[in-house]
Amino acid sequence: MLCALLCMSQPGWAENVADSFAEEVEEAEEAKEAKEAKEAKEKDTLVLGLVTSSPGKHHATLRLMVDYVVARLGHLGIRRGAVKMARNNRQMIKMLRRGEVDWVSETAYSAMQFKHQAGARLLLRRWKKGVESYSSIIFVHRDSGIKTLADLVGRRVALEDEGSTTSFFLPAAALAATGYPLERLYSPREEPYADHIGYVFSNAEITSSTWVHKGIVAAGGFSNLDWAEDDNLPPGFRESFEIIHETAPVPRGIEVVNGELDVDIRNGLRDVLLAMKQDPEGRQVLQAFQKTDQFDELSARDHRRLQELEAQMDSIELSL
């Protein structure tokens, strides 16, 4: 009784109790929704998911892909296909946890988030536009005097957005490996702490390169593929820049499946995707599916690299 009275006398006691109760209610509601979603999902339906801010733009191509696969999984009891879109990775993680989505096609960072936070399984590597893997580069103005990543302490780095593999996670992981803490900034004019490396989101590769060119930020980071694109990096900019770091490559794309997906269906899906490049109809569907060339197995090197990134995930995300 005395303990309860003492606790009630503490400042903010009522607010803390209310917050704790609200969290418990939210967790209970999420658990109920997950159970209802899993029960509602038809066992004969395969659901393909995608994270996008433009669902109308991608629905037809995803529909084409899932229908192709479903037509070849009838012997496993799959009769129908469906497409589900999420606005962001957080929403897709909830969908995976609830069993609403069976299969997602994503980049390495998102795939590892789904594995780390929703128990998803990595299935296959996806080649896109003739590319099996890509890396991140960090670049500076040639006249800046910056030669190493450690030289960026106390300075600003432009990255694209928090969901990007090559324009956020890979360069952020490389910067964190210097041993200096990362600090998220909310303006390209904001100064980081003197012993931190600051980063700010530009929301576009061309904006990152423009800020570096104008000296607004000290460095920029995006993919080696973007480095070669004039739309992201005009030739005049490229000639004045210098690359000071390139990360180890990661798969261009990764197919992940729900961790609870039946093992026979998972293996059947793998077999269908692997065989698509040998089928004329399959090749047409692949090209329509965001210019995919083929699916193949993740290599041992891919798995090691992805495990390294997963180990850094929590510390990088803490800086957001």
- In the chain the domains, ranked by start, together with CATH numbers, are 41-132+251-312 (3.40.190.10), 136-247 (3.40.190.10)
Give percent of the chain above pLDDT 70.
87
pLDDT band at 5 (very low <50, low <70, confident <90, very high): very low
d(Cα 266, Cα 244) in Å, to the nearest integer? 42
Determine the average pLDDT of the residues in 256-281. 98
- Residue 188 vs residues 199, 200, 202, 237, 280: alpha-carbon distances, Å: 8, 6, 8, 19, 49
In this predicted structure, the answer to whether residue 158 has a pLDDT above a threshold of 80 is: yes
pLDDT at position 7: 47
What is d(CA 20, CA 38) in angstroms, rounded to the nearest whole number?
A: 27
Strand 219-223 versus strand 136-141 pairing type: antiparallel
**Cβ-proximal residues to 27 (8 Å cutoff; 6+ apart), any chain:** none
The span from the CA of 46 to the CA of 79, in Å, is 8
Hey, is 227 helix, strand or coil? helix
Q: Which of 39-43, 79-83, 137-141 has the lowest mean pLDDT?
A: 39-43
In angstroms, the CA 67 to CA 53 distance is 23
Per-residue pLDDT band at 267 (split at 50, 70, 90): very high
User: Do the beta carbons of residue 144 and residue 131 sit within 8 Å?
Assistant: no
Average pLDDT of the segment spanning 120-144: 97
pLDDT above 90 (res 248): yes
Is the pLDDT at 38 greater than 90? The verdict is no
3-state secondary structure of 11: coil
The answer, yes or no, to whether residue 149 has pLDDT greater than 80, is yes
Confidence of residue 16 (pLDDT cuts 50, 70, 90): low
Share of the chain above pLDDT 90, in %: 81
Q: How far apart are CA 278 and CA 309, in angstroms?
A: 33
How far apart are alpha carbons 238 and 139 in whole angstroms?
10
The Cα 132–Cα 301 span in angstroms is: 13
> CA 193 from chain center: how many Å?
28
Q: How many other CB atoms are there within 10 angstroms of residue 248's CB atom?
A: 14
Q: What per-residue confidence (pLDDT) applies to 178?
A: 95
Q: Please count the other Cβ atoms lying within 10 Å of the Cβ belonging to residue 172.
A: 27
In degrees, rounded to 5, the angle at the alpha carbon of residue 248 between the alpha carbons of residues 164 and 319 is 45
Give the pLDDT score at 31: 54
Q: Which two tokens stand for residue 304?
A: 């090691």
> What average pLDDT does range 102-116 have in this prediction?
96
